[in-house]
Structure formats: structure tokens, C-alpha cells
């Protein structure tokens, strides 16, 4: 089969479109013919070697996968050849205390498809049968691929951890990112007022089109100053943080008394200083989150099935143009998800 592989860490030039061996199936696995695979910042972190002990070489990225069942392992009788599926991106052992209590994303053996194991930048990918989610015909492969990781993450942040409520003020960083766009849509469905940030003027209109009430252009405006102005000095109830170093201080100081900050990533860097007096005097809560549970994904998926959530697709590239697709993401030229179509 054809796949995008990198054999050493580095820039986009390390991505190679080449012929590789089609995966062999384990007893509990299914082979998926990939129809669409969405990019995530996780793919860039893997390629640049941010965590070399986790990402082994050679490697095939791609966590958000939609396609058709092509082959079945020995114990996969409940799915059928040709079935249209979405792939849940998290792999757990389903035997530990966390898995058995519905917190499978906290499993000690938790792995993300396309990060710790090979993923969907390929014509075929093998995944555990438990990771398959059947899809109705009305949902396209592109929509399906643009959905799992970011909407799962945003739902876990906002609903499971922050427990947002109608009428609250939510600060969503980076509206054009996958998690940012998902967080805006989920917050609006749940009745919150959304303040978001963008890095380009053309993204202001895009952010409002998907539901943002207020948009801050961080290149021209100070985030903290604008948040205080837009909330009459009170601050926001929740911040969804995944940018890291460059926004951490303003995110903390944007919170109202009793506010909650939920962080799932650090695209600008992972080191940041925190004035602890500000945290304890204002009764703030900081949650660290990593992906979400299978039940989180199933919960948010119902809004996709009902047509209340629509993934934002920025652009589509053929598989062999993966380097161009990743470059678009690195340069923040996108708004929404970037897809590869093998």
C-alpha cells in the first residue's frame, strides 16, 4: 500500500510518500480502507520528535480516520466488510481500574492511533475492533474524519471537566484550530457566551460564522484587556487553553473568581510561569486533560448524528501532498480541519 512515512525526525521534508507493507491483523483487529484522515498538531509533534520515546521510527501519523472495513481479524464477527466507520482514536487495555470506571483515557497503557502506533496517513490502517464506530450514510467520510479527536477533546474539557452551564462566559483560544472550532460550537449548543481569539483579520468573520459572540484579533488587541472589557471587568468562567507559553498568563488572569482553566495542549511551548497568589486568592481551578473517554466521544457524537454539530473542513489534499498539508497547519493558514484523502 501507499503511505506517508518519516524515518527520522525533522521538518516536512522528512515526510516520504512510499510503498509499504499492508498491516497484518491481530485477532482483535480490523483493517480499514482509509477514505479520509484529518491532520492534528499531534502529527507535527510526532514528526519533529517532541517525544521520541513515545513515537518510534519509521512512523505513519494520522489519528482522525474514517473509512470502510476491508478485512476482519478472527474475533471481529460484529462488523462486516464494507461497513462505513469512524475510528475512535484512543486505545486502552479495558482491564485497569480507570478503564473499568469509564475513564479509559487515563489508562496506563493508553495510546493514540497515529502517535504511539501507526495511523491513517495511508491507504489502509489496522485498528482494534473496539475502536470502530458505525456511521449512518448521511454522514460523509470527510465529516467523520474531521470529528473524533478535536470534538472528543473539546467535549471532555468543557462538559466532563469544566461542567459549563448556560449563560456562562467562555474564552476559547485559537478559533481556527480544530479544538478551538469544536469548543465554540459545543459551548453555543450548551447556551454559553463565547469569546474567542484569532491571529488574522480574515478569521474574525469565520469565527463568528460558527457561533463566536466576540472575537479578539490577538495580533492587534491584547487578549486580557479585551476579555476584561467584554465582561465589564469580571472575567470569564472558563478558559479552554491549548496554546501554552504565549497565552498562559493572560488565560489565568482572564478568569473570574471561581473560574476554571482547562488545558489539553501546548502548541506554542510547554513552559510557563504562574503567579500562585492569583490562583488561590481567586479560587481558581486548573484542569489538565488528555483526549477524552470513549463515552465522551459517544456523547458528543449524537450531536453530529442529529445535525447540530458540523465539523469545519478547511481544505483537502491527496495523500501524496501531506507535506503541503502539514505546512499549511504549521503556518496557521487554516481555519478548521485539514484532510488527506488517500
Q: Are residues 134 and 171 in the same domain?
A: no
Question: Is 239 in a helix, a strand, or coil?
Answer: strand
Q: Are residues 143 and 159 in the same domain?
A: no
Q: Are residues 193 and 225 in the same domain?
A: yes
pLDDT at residue 273 greater than cutoff 80: yes
Phi/psi of residue 274, nearest 5 degrees: -130, 125
Q: Are 82 and 67 in contact (CB under 8 A)?
A: no
pLDDT at residue 21 greater than cutoff 90: yes
Alpha helices in the chain (DSSP H): 41-48, 97-100, 141-145, 148-155, 178-189, 202-209, 223-230, 248-253, 276-281, 294-305, 322-330
Rounded Cα–Cα distance for residues 225 and 206 (Å): 22
What pLDDT score does 75 carry? Answer: 67
Q: Are residues 66 and 178 in the same domain?
A: no
Rounded Cα–Cα distance for residues 104 and 333 (Å): 34
Q: Tens digits of per-residue pLDDT, 55-70?
A: 999 999 999 999 999 9
pTM assigned to the model: 0.95
For residue 11, give the DSSP letter. Answer: S
Q: Are residues 203 and 262 in the same domain?
A: yes
When divided into structural domains, the chain yields a total of 2
pLDDT band, very low/low/confident/very high, at 77 (cuts 50, 70, 90): low
Q: What CATH number is associated with residue 30?
A: 3.90.180.10
Q: Are residues 119 and 159 in the same domain?
A: no
Q: Are residues 165 and 143 in the same domain?
A: no
Q: Is 167 within a domain?
A: yes
Q: Are residues 137 and 174 in the same domain?
A: no
Q: Tens digits of per-residue pLDDT, 184-206?
A: 999 999 999 999 999 999 999 99
Where does the chain show beta strands of DSSP type E? 2-5, 16-19, 29-38, 64-72, 84-87, 90-91, 111-112, 124-128, 132-134, 169-172, 193-198, 214-217, 236-241, 255-263, 285-288, 313-318, 337-341
Domain that holds residue 21: 2-147+311-341
Q: Are residues 9 and 128 in the same domain?
A: yes
Amino acid at each position: 500500500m501507499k503511505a506517508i512515512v518519516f524515518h527520522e525526525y525533522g521538518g516536512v521534508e522528512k515526510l516520504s510518500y512510499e510503498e509499504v507493507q499492508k498491516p497484518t491483523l491481530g485477532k482483535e483487529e480490523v483493517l480499514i480502507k482509509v477514505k479520509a484522515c484529518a491532520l492534528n498538531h499531534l502529527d507535527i509533534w510526532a514528526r519533529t520528535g517532541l517525544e521520541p520515546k513515545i513515537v518510534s521510527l519509521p512512523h505513519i501519523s494520522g489519528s482522525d480516520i474514517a473509512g470502510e472495513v476491508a478485512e476482519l481479524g478472527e474475533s471481529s464477527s460484529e462488523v462486516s466488510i464494507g461497513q462505513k466507520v469512524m475510528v475512535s482514536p484512543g486505545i486502552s487495555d479495558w482491564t485497569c481500574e480507570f478503564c473499568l470506571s469509564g475513564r479509559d483515557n487515563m489508562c496506563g497503557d493508553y495510546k493514540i492511533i497515529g502517535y504511539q502506533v501507526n495511523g491513517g496517513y495511508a491507504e489502509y490502517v489496522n485498528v482494534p475492533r473496539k475502536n470502530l464506530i458505525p456511521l449512518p450514510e448521511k454522514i460523509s467520510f470527510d465529516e467523520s474524519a474531521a470529528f473524533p479527536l478535536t470534538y472528543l477533546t473539546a467535549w471532555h474539557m468543557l462538559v466532563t471537566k469544566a461542567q459549563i452551564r448556560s449563560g456562562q462566559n467562555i474564552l476559547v483560544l485559537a478559533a481556527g484550530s480544530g479544538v478551538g472550532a469544536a469548543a465554540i460550537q459545543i459551548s453555543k449548543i450548551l447556551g454559553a457566551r463565547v469569546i474567542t481569539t484569532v491571529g488574522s483579520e480574515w478569521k474574525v468573520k469565520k469565527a463568528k460564522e460558527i457561533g463566536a459572540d466576540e472575537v479578539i484579533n490577538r495580533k492587534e488587541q491584547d487578549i486580557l484587556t479585551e476579555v476584561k472589557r467584554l465582561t465589564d471587568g469580571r472575567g470569564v468562567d472558563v478558559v479552554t487553553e491549548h496554546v501554552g507559553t504565549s497565552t498562559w498568563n493572560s488565560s489565568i488572569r482572564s478568569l473570574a473568581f471561581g473560574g476554571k482553566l482547562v488545558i489539553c495542549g501546548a502548541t506554542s511551548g510547554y513552559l510557563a510561569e504562574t503567579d500562585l497568589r492569583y490562583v488561590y486568592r481567586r479560587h481558581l481551578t486548573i484542569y489538565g486533560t488528555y483526549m477524552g473517554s470513549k463515552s465522551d466521544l459517544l456523547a458528543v457524537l449524537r450531536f453530529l448524528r442529529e445535525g447540530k454539530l458540523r465539523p469545519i473542513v478547511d481544505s483537502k489534499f491527496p495523500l501524496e501532498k501531506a507535506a503541503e498539508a502539514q505546512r499549511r497547519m504549521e503556518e496557521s493558514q487554516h481555519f478548521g480541519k485539514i484532510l488527506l484523502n488517500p
